A and B are shown apart, each in its own frame.
Chain A
Amino acid sequence: MFDAARIGYAGSARLRPIELAPWVLALLVYFLAPNYLPLGAYVVIIILFALSLDLILGYGGIVTLGHAAYFGFGAYAAGVFAIRVSGDPLLGLVVAAVAAGLLGFATGAVILRTHGLALLMLTLAIASIVFEIANKWTDVTGGADGLHSVPIQPVLGLFRFDMFGKTAFLYCLIVLAVGWWLVRTIVHSPFGVSLAGTRENDVRMHAIGAPVYWRRLWAYTISATLAGVAGGLLTQTTQFVGLSVLGFERSGELLVMLVLGGVRRIYGAFVGPLVFIVAQDYLAKQSPEYWTLGIGVLLIFIVRFARGGLLGLADRARAKLWGKKG
């Protein structure tokens, strides 16, 4: 149901009914739980961010601890553009996408010349550099104060961002749908299989004549672009951008959320952030002081008992129930 076995030259890219579940659920939230729309919009944004990571980490095998660099860069690009040029949200998203994509291409060109631990260190280094630039370049970024009251016009000149977060939620949801369609298409494409090949064995990829470096770099660029769009959405829906969009914690948390949901499944990127953020929200209300303990216990449980994340767990449960091979 959630597995990746349908990818490849003998696979099937046809949409399965279960894949509509996230969208149905989102619409249910929209109509039945209007109080949760601001939180919902945030979850949707982080899902898009996690999806961008799944493309390179899950499918490409590129482990990074610096993906917030692109999320944050997109967030700032959208913010600066809105303040200085235009408050049109769609134009702002394009700017965020292009900015993060270019940064992804430029930094990826350096990062992807390395592998493993060296690569991980470089992603950290680049995220730190971008963070420090945002921190020090106060004229543009507002430094530690960030950018407040970022103007945002109605979407397409028609749909105002209301105080209940209805427009914001649907806006984010539609952008996520586009991102999801893009990642899903790529993962099923020959490029996607090729990317999986670079993950599985780059020595063999070279031996079949594949441009390994370029495949990885394009995937990285696309991923950075999507991360930038997610960042842009956060700026636009909150009308604020601050240094936290670039912090190490954001990269780390993202990785945790993806692992929680399950990597290399597309929908792990949906389940992880949803569970993580909702649990965070709930636990923080129950116990403002000790909520991180709850998150910690949840993670230990997942890592110890649920390899493959929550969706991996779901797969195994299903296999047990139906007696099918997992």
Chain B
Amino acid sequence: MERIPILRMGNFLLVTIQVDMHDKLAMTLQDDLTKAIADFDSRGVLIDISTLEIVDSFIGRMLANIAAMSRVLDAETVLVGMQPAVAITLVELGMSLPGVRTALNVESGMELLQESVGSFHMSMNDGSAET
């Protein structure tokens, strides 16, 4: 079954959504991500939607859910690269994704994650074995 690949980058997970997802694929991604956060003890999730041309209420809710679930698992989520036309349409639809942090691109998104998460781990790193 097709799945959207999840990349692990140290403490963070990176997901790039490029395809026009059908509902099942979106739900699978949601499940896969929450599982991965738990499995790898990730502290942050970066979702790159810079090539996603359509975000309807279903996808919007999925993104909000991922952010909420991650937070429960002690991970931050940052959504990056939303296209202007998509942003305009989402707002018109009535979705503003209040619980989701955003950034312009992967680079700024990573910076954001480092800021909110990195410092915590720097203070935890006292030279003992990596958890």
To the question of whether A and B form a pair in one complex, the answer is no
B interface with A by C-beta (< 8 Å): none
